[in-house]
Structure formats: C-alpha cells, structure tokens
Amino acid sequence: MISVTKLSMSLAAGGRAVPILDDITLEIPDKQMIAIVGASGSGKSTLLGLMAGLDRPTTGSITLDGTELTTMSESALAKFRRAKIGYIFQSFHLIPTLTARENVAAPLELSGEQDGQVRAAELLASVGLADRLDHYPVQLSGGEQQRVAVARAFACRPPFLFADEPTGNLDSTTGIQVVNLLLNMHRDFGTTLVLVTHDQHLAGRMQRVVALRDGRIESDQLTGS
Ligand SMILES: Nc1ncnc2c1ncn2[C@@H]1O[C@H](COP(=O)(O)OP(=O)(O)OP(=O)(O)O)[C@@H](O)[C@H]1O
C-alpha cells in the first residue's frame, strides 16, 4: 500500500517559494494500476517522484508498505529504492555504454544476483528483444529502448513500479505495444503500478484515474478496467 498524507511541496523560483503540490492525500492499495493525469504543470511528475523517493516533500508523509520515506537517510532511501521500486522515464534513461542485456543485468547484479546476465536475457526475450541482447541503446529504436527500460524496471521484481509518461516519446502503435507490456508485467509480477500520462487511452486502461489541477486532487475515479 502507498499512503500519501497531507503532502505539500514548494520550490524556490525567482527568490520566492512557489507551491507545486498542496495538501495531497491518497491511498493506493497493493497491486492497483493507477494513472495520474492533469494539465501540464499541474504537479504530476513531482508527485510521482516524491512517491518513488526521488525527492523530498516540504511537508507531509509518504509510506510504502508502512515504511516512511520522508525521514529516511539518503543511503537508506537508496537501498529501499533498489529493493522495492522500479521507475520508467519518458526518455528511457538507459546507460549508453552498456548493451541491452547489460542494462537489464545491472540492477540484478547490484542486488547480488549471481546469474544476472542469464536472467536479463530471459527478461529481454519476454519483451520481444531476444535478438537485440548485444545492441547498445543508440542501435535501438525508441520503442525497443523503452522495452529494455521496462525489462530493467521489472528485473528485481519490485512491488512498486512508477512510470512517468512511458509512451510520451513513442508513436501510437509502439506506445500501445509498451502499454500492453506494462499490463502483462503488472499481471505476472503483481506490481502496484502508478503512471503519469497525457494519453487518455492509456489512462483508461488503468483501474483508477486521479486528476491533478494546480497541485491539488481534482478528481479520483475508478474506471472499471
Ligand atoms: N526544480 C524546480 N524549480 C522550480 N519549479 C519547478 C521545478 N520543477 C518543477 N517546477 C514547477 O512545478 C510545476 C509542476 O511541475 P511537474 O513537472 O510536476 O508538472 P507536470 O504536471 O508533470 O507537467 P508536464 O505534464 O508538463 O510534465 C511546474 O509549474 C513546474 O514549472
């Protein structure tokens, strides 16, 4: 379960504090698939980054599986993220000097897994990239890079997966392939999936859609998906 309580975030800009998120309270049950939507600048990416422990709020609480993130030391937070959190970026963020297989193996090897390279090859096969193991990111299309990023994000079987506009840089057909992959992985791994999107089609495939407006929750609806 993800619990966000009375979360606020202000950032300094032009010598003054600008409110970005204001009094957000949100509970996300285990295994739920939820989309965060809203106009550009409404605070979606900021909220996602806070829930994933990438940033610290000004006030409020964030717990994942009962662990409070906001008071953790940097090193404890980094360890927690490695064990519990997968993150997918709009612009893929693969390591350019590593092959597809090495990119996926990296988090496995960091977490002490002996057969990381073998497991990485299996994961890449499961996202349809068995014949791209030794390609570097620059040798892959955008959709292929995002599939590598999806395989990497799920590699350590994290209970929590966050995705910031995962289809934002892809054409619609490739975007649909990546979404199908996310849904399959969610089903197979039982992951809680929180994603930010501008894509109505993608949002509608989640079980719940939370809309932000000016840093506050404007609506919170189950979709029936
Ligand atoms: N480091 C920063 N310093 C100052 N303001 C910031 C900073 N990062 C983000 N902001 C501001 O915070 C607000 C929310 O940004 P955020 O990226 O969370 O919005 P978003 O809803 O994800 O937008 P988009 O859909 O365009 O990606 C924006 O007005 C942005 O300009």
Instruction: Establish if 45 belongs to a structural domain.
Output: yes
Q: Is 224 exposed, middle or buried (0-12, 13-18, 19+ CB in 10 A)?
A: exposed
pLDDT in tens, 72-98: 999 999 999 988 999 999 889 999 999
Q: Pick from 11, 199, 214 the residue to mutate for probing ligand 1's pocket: most ligand atoms within 8 Å of its CB.
A: 11
- ipTM comes to 0.93
Contact in structure between 68 and 141 (CB atoms under 8 Å): no
| CATH number for 53 | 3.40.50.300
In this structure, which residue's CA is closest to atom 27 in ligand 1?
Answer: 40
Contact in structure between 46 and 55 (CB atoms under 8 Å): yes
pLDDT in tens, 134-152: 999 999 999 999 999 999 9
Instruction: Establish if 10 belongs to a structural domain.
Output: yes
For the chain, give the percent of residues with pLDDT over 70: 100
Ligand 1 atom nearest to 165, measured from its CA: 27
The strand ranges marked E within 122-185 are 160-164
Q: Pick from 10, 37, 44, 194 the residue to mutate for probing ligand 1's pocket: most ligand atoms within 8 Å of its CB.
A: 44
Instruction: Establish if 126 belongs to a structural domain.
Output: no
Instruction: Establish if 143 belongs to a structural domain.
Output: no
The number of helix segments (H) and strand segments (E) in the chain equals 7, 10
At residue 76, the pLDDT reads: 95
Q: Is the pLDDT of residue 185 over 90?
A: no
pLDDT in tens, 69-79: 999 999 999 99
In this structure, which residue's CA is closest to atom 26 in ligand 1?
Answer: 40
108 CA to centre of ligand 1 in angstroms: 32
pLDDT band for position 181 (cuts 50, 70, 90): confident
Q: How far is CA 185 from CA 27, 40, 173, 189, in A?
A: 22, 28, 19, 6
At residue 69, the pLDDT reads: 97
Q: Is the pLDDT of residue 13 over 90?
A: no
pLDDT in tens, 26-47: 999 999 999 999 999 999 999 9
Instruction: Establish if 101 belongs to a structural domain.
Output: no
Ligand 1 atom nearest to 42, measured from its CA: 21
Q: Which residues of 130-166 are buried (b: 16+ CB within 10 A; e: fewer)?
A: eebbebbbeebeebbbbbbbbbbbbbbebbbbbbbbb
At residue 178, the pLDDT reads: 86
In this structure, which residue's CA is closest to atom 12 in ligand 1?
Answer: 20
Instruction: Establish if 215 belongs to a structural domain.
Output: yes
Q: Is the pLDDT of residue 111 over 90?
A: no
Pocket of ligand 1 (CB under 6 A): 11, 13, 18, 20, 38, 40-46
* Boundaries of domain holding 190: 2-95+157-222
Instruction: Establish if 51 belongs to a structural domain.
Output: yes
In this structure, which residue's CA is closest to atom 13 in ligand 1?
Answer: 41
165 CA to centre of ligand 1 in angstroms: 14
How many domains, in total, are found in the chain?
Answer: 1
Instruction: Establish if 28 belongs to a structural domain.
Output: yes
